[in-house]
A and B are shown apart, each in its own frame.
Chain A
Amino acid sequence: MDAIILQILNGLDKGSAYALIALGLTLIFGTLGVVNFAHGALFMIGAFCAVTLSRILTLSHTVIDETQKDFLGNPLKVDVPYIYDIFGQATGDAIIDWAVPISILFAIPVMVGIGFAMERGLIKHFYKRPHADQILVTFGLAIVLQEIIKYFYGANPIPTPAPDAFRGSFDFGAMLGFDPNTIIYPYWRLVYFAFAAVIIGAVFAFLQFTTFGMVVRAGMADRETVGLLGINIDKRFTIMFGIAAAVAGLAGVMYTPINSPNYHMGMDFLVLSFVVVVVGGMGSLSGAVLAGFLLGILESFASMAIVLETLPGINQIIIYLVAIIILLTRPRGLMGRKGVMEE
């Protein structure tokens, strides 16, 4: 029992990342009808927003500290971050420590801006082109974006730690009445899951309970009619693209403490996220979220030692295997609607 709970927990953080990226992909597909292969790159750029902000916060100038001497007796040169000068040392340290959560505020405008630029500058011209062309051009864009990041940040992963308060682990088993130390779960992963749940809830609430969301849903159902009613649906869809980019970016920001960001992390997640979208059903938002968590948890179950003994290597291929089975038995995916992306 405890092993099962542990695996479900382990699947949650990866599942959250899949769900967030797949949600953005589905939003873009559902509104604009575009298959966006550059969505993984947006996730990656989000992660690098966190890296950038923590670098900005630790920008330092050198000060000669008379109180400390090095072994030759000369006064020691100390790097002092500019942020100390503004907020004082204690607050400055706290801000640097909380760089990753603070990056959320920094990442939202950046990602929305990138989303707008992408949609207006490139994707807009591809609405009428075949899906294959959309895949190809966004694939090219993904290569370009990741190479730009590689040029500025190098090819190595950049560790970006979580705030000190969340660095430990949390004994989940003791809380549920199991023996202590059977179910241990890092705090940050719990934070990630909660964060993902909030974002997903916010996106759904936005679509469900606001007038803007209602218009967007109407546009997803029948773009032409909404346009004929005198509503500028293109503008709203552009905003949705920005929101989808921000969702992917935030997923990336919060993922940095779990996995040090490198320039190809987007591509790694993209392939899996596409599988998630297809399993969930093209164009179905709830399907994407459901499939994201399902596949994340399934993946962590497949990497249990007992499973690996009987089926070696299954953890590497389980997601693809499930995708193949689902696509062959339920061609529209788990929750796909009729008429979306049918041939």
Chain B
Amino acid sequence: MGLNKKDFTLLIIVAILCVFAPFILNPFPEGSAMAQFNAGYPDLMQRLVIFGIFAIGFNILFGLTGYLSFGHAAFLGVGSYAAIWMMKLLTMNVIPAIIISVLVAGLFSLLVGWISLRRSGIYFSILTLAFAQMSYSLAYSVLTPITGGETGLQPKVNDPRILDGALAAGETPRANLFGLQMNQSYEMAVGNWVFTFNAGYYLAAIVMLIAFYISIRIFRSPFGMMLRAVKSNQQRLNYTGLNAKPYTLAAFVISGMYAGLAGGLLVAMDTQVGAERMFWTASGEVVLMTILGGAGTLIGPVLGAGFIKYMENIVSKINKSILEQWFAFMPDGIEDLLITLVYPFIGKGWHLTLGILFMLVVIFLPGGLVEGGQRVGRLFKRKKPADDKPDGKTTPAE
């Protein structure tokens, strides 16, 4: 497949994790006190892999070229809108929807990139942010006939859908892959455990593996080397007679297409779109995922996306009564004290935890979780002299 042994092993590990995710994410039996840490339900698993795709794409731009875009959610949103219109007009089959979402997001990112990449550094960040905010405001106001405004869009029973047959009475349109419905699940009960295998999740996981494979190839290709050259010293690149713009633009469009793909998949799994997924905090979130996992590394963004989405779901579900259960064994005074101390960080306080975590990572571990892993690894095998991963720790370009 054109991969060296190490990358191939990485790809295989990710593939195995994806296939067995319903088991791995469901380690605790139903009904036990720890069951709220289970993440093996379809909705969450789908989001884990879809945001993985989003972050992988963002990493191709930010990790390789160092251009920090603050507007990537716009491409995800545009892709989502394109996909939902495909479902309304053509067919509920997800394949055309996903393809068109990638194409439309690609075209849009070509336009945005062509303009924004005239500048670099913070100006580039502000330009992409401006474009994303513009798309968001327009989707909310003037473009309401296309975007549904505040209510968003869902497939309706009386949409044309020229390729699909007429719906039977009382039947609602459902996203499917040649008849296989995306929300179809097979539940396997083993003792106290219930494992859910969801069609939509496996489709998304396969797409993510393909996306991951492509990103490995980009990282290892001459094109990827050019992008790293842009990051480390764009001026020198210019002096050698090379124009960096086509390369950075290509990277921008590729990452825009990844975002569109993620948007299309989100629609395929849950057939609705709202403008809020284009808001700039959504763009900030993908930056968080990439940095938290480790920008410029292959596996980092996937880890970061998985970590943030998992924590978001689990931490925000913990409430006061669960805390009381946990600390019940302690003396009353200490129990109350602990609960008061922990309470601001859980449930609705998830964003506080996220913000603190993010600051800690940026301050102490700029390479993200991957660098943390490497440091821990180095503690255990001290004899290895140097880090053999050239892209482990990198500084973004100005």
Residues from chain B with a CB closer than 8 A to the CB of A312 are 141-142
Residues from chain A with a CB closer than 8 A to the CB of B356 are 140, 144
| A–B pairs, 5, beta carbons within 8 Å | A135-B68, A147-B349, A278-B126, A320-B131, A324-B130
Lowest 9 CB-CB distances: which A-B pairs, in order?
Answer: A313-B142, A143-B355, A316-B137, A147-B352, A140-B359, A320-B130, A144-B355, A132-B396, A140-B358
B121 touches A131 (CB 8 A): yes
List which B352-378 residues lie within 8 A (CB) of chain A.
352, 354-356, 358-359, 362-363, 366
Q: B120 at interface (Cβ–Cβ under 8 A)? A: yes
Name the residue on B nearest A319 (C-beta): B130
Residues from chain B with a CB closer than 8 A to the CB of A321 are 134
List which B257-306 residues lie within 8 A (CB) of chain A.
280-281, 284, 287, 291
Given the complex of chains A and B, what is the CA–CA distance between A136 and B366 in angstroms?
Answer: 10
Given contacts A135-B125, A148-B352, whether A324 and B115 have CB atoms under 8 Å apart is yes
B122 touches A125 (CB 8 A): no
A327 touches B363 (CB 8 A): no
* A 301-343 binary contact with B (CB < 8 Å = 1; else 0): 0000000000011001100110110011001000000000101
Q: B398 at interface (Cβ–Cβ under 8 A)? A: yes
A137 touches B130 (CB 8 A): no
A141 touches B398 (CB 8 A): no
Residues from chain B with a CB closer than 8 A to the CB of A71 are none
* B 93-132 binary contact with A (CB < 8 Å = 1; else 0): 0000000000000000000000100111111011101110
Q: B138 at interface (Cβ–Cβ under 8 A)? A: yes
Q: A274 at interface (Cβ–Cβ under 8 A)? A: yes
Given the complex of chains A and B, what is the CA–CA distance between A278 and B119 in angstroms?
Answer: 12
Given contacts A135-B68, A136-B362, A327-B119, whether A313 and B137 have CB atoms under 8 Å apart is yes
List which A114-169 residues lie within 8 A (CB) of chain B.
122, 125, 129-133, 135-137, 139-144, 147-148, 151
Q: A17 at interface (Cβ–Cβ under 8 A)? A: no
Interface bin, chain B = 35 or more
A133 interface neighbour in B120, B123, B362, Cβ under 8 Å: B362
Give the one of A130, A147, A313 with max B CB within 10 A.
Answer: A147
Name the residue on A nearest B129 (C-beta): A271
Q: A282 at interface (Cβ–Cβ under 8 A)? A: yes
A271 touches B398 (CB 8 A): no
Least Cβ–Cβ distance between A132 and chain B, in angstroms? 4
Name the residue on A nearest B120 (C-beta): A343
Q: A183 at interface (Cβ–Cβ under 8 A)? A: no
Least Cβ–Cβ distance between B395 and chain A, in angstroms? 5
B398 touches A320 (CB 8 A): no
List which B311-338 residues lie within 8 A (CB) of chain A.
none
Q: A243 at interface (Cβ–Cβ under 8 A)? A: no
Q: B181 at interface (Cβ–Cβ under 8 A)? A: no
Name the residue on A nearest B363 (C-beta): A137
Residues from chain A with a CB closer than 8 A to the CB of B66 are 132
Residues from chain A with a CB closer than 8 A to the CB of B133 are 271, 317, 320
Least Cβ–Cβ distance between B235 and chain A, in angstroms? 8
Given contacts A136-B291, A313-B138, whether A343 and B121 have CB atoms under 8 Å apart is yes
Residues from chain A with a CB closer than 8 A to the CB of B362 are 133, 136-137, 140
B138 touches A144 (CB 8 A): no
Given the complex of chains A and B, what is the CA–CA distance between A53 and B398 in angstroms?
Answer: 42
Least Cβ–Cβ distance between B265 and chain A, in angstroms? 27
Residues from chain B with a CB closer than 8 A to the CB of A343 are 119-121, 234, 398
Q: A200 at interface (Cβ–Cβ under 8 A)? A: no
A140 touches B137 (CB 8 A): no
Q: A49 at interface (Cβ–Cβ under 8 A)? A: no
Given contacts A35-B122, A137-B363, A151-B349, whether A328 and B355 have CB atoms under 8 Å apart is no
A271 touches B344 (CB 8 A): no
How many Cβ-Cβ contacts under 8 Å join chain A to chain B? 115
Q: A247 at interface (Cβ–Cβ under 8 A)? A: no
B354 interface neighbour in A143, A274, A341, Cβ under 8 Å: A143
Least Cβ–Cβ distance between B128 and chain A, in angstroms? 10
Least Cβ–Cβ distance between A141 and chain B, in angstroms? 6
Q: A44 at interface (Cβ–Cβ under 8 A)? A: no
Q: A275 at interface (Cβ–Cβ under 8 A)? A: yes
Give the one of B115, B121, B123, B130 with max A CB within 10 A.
Answer: B130
Residues from chain A with a CB closer than 8 A to the CB of B115 are 324, 328
Name the residue on B nearest A151 (C-beta): B344
List which A43-93 residues lie within 8 A (CB) of chain B.
none
A139 touches B126 (CB 8 A): no
A151 touches B352 (CB 8 A): yes
Given the complex of chains A and B, what is the CA–CA distance between A323 and B119 in angstroms?
Answer: 13
Q: B37 at interface (Cβ–Cβ under 8 A)? A: no
Question: Can you add 18 more A-B contacts, CB < 8 Å, to A316-B137, A327-B126, A343-B234?
Answer: A35-B122, A131-B121, A132-B66, A133-B396, A135-B122, A137-B362, A141-B355, A144-B352, A147-B351, A147-B352, A151-B349, A267-B281, A275-B126, A317-B134, A324-B127, A324-B130, A328-B115, A341-B123
Given the complex of chains A and B, what is the CA–CA distance between A131 and B366 in angstroms?
Answer: 13
Name the residue on B nearest A272 (C-beta): B133
A320 touches B134 (CB 8 A): yes
Given contacts A139-B284, A151-B352, A341-B121, whether A130 and B395 have CB atoms under 8 Å apart is yes
A317 interface neighbour in B129, B137, B287, Cβ under 8 Å: B137
B125 touches A143 (CB 8 A): no
* A 261-288 binary contact with B (CB < 8 Å = 1; else 0): 0000001000100110010001000000
A274 touches B126 (CB 8 A): yes
Given the complex of chains A and B, what is the CA–CA distance between A139 and B359 in angstroms?
Answer: 8
Name the residue on A nearest B234 (C-beta): A343
Q: B140 at interface (Cβ–Cβ under 8 A)? A: yes
Given the complex of chains A and B, what is the CA–CA distance between A323 and B234 in angstroms?
Answer: 25
Least Cβ–Cβ distance between A31 and chain B, in angstroms? 17
Least Cβ–Cβ distance between A146 and chain B, in angstroms? 8
Name the residue on B nearest A343 (C-beta): B120
Given the complex of chains A and B, what is the CA–CA distance between A257 and B121 in angstroms?
Answer: 37
Give the one of B118, B140, B359 with max A CB within 10 A.
Answer: B359
Residues from chain B with a CB closer than 8 A to the CB of A139 are 284, 287, 358
B352 touches A316 (CB 8 A): no
Given the complex of chains A and B, what is the CA–CA distance between A140 and B354 in angstroms?
Answer: 8
B363 touches A125 (CB 8 A): yes
Residues from chain A with a CB closer than 8 A to the CB of B349 are 147, 151
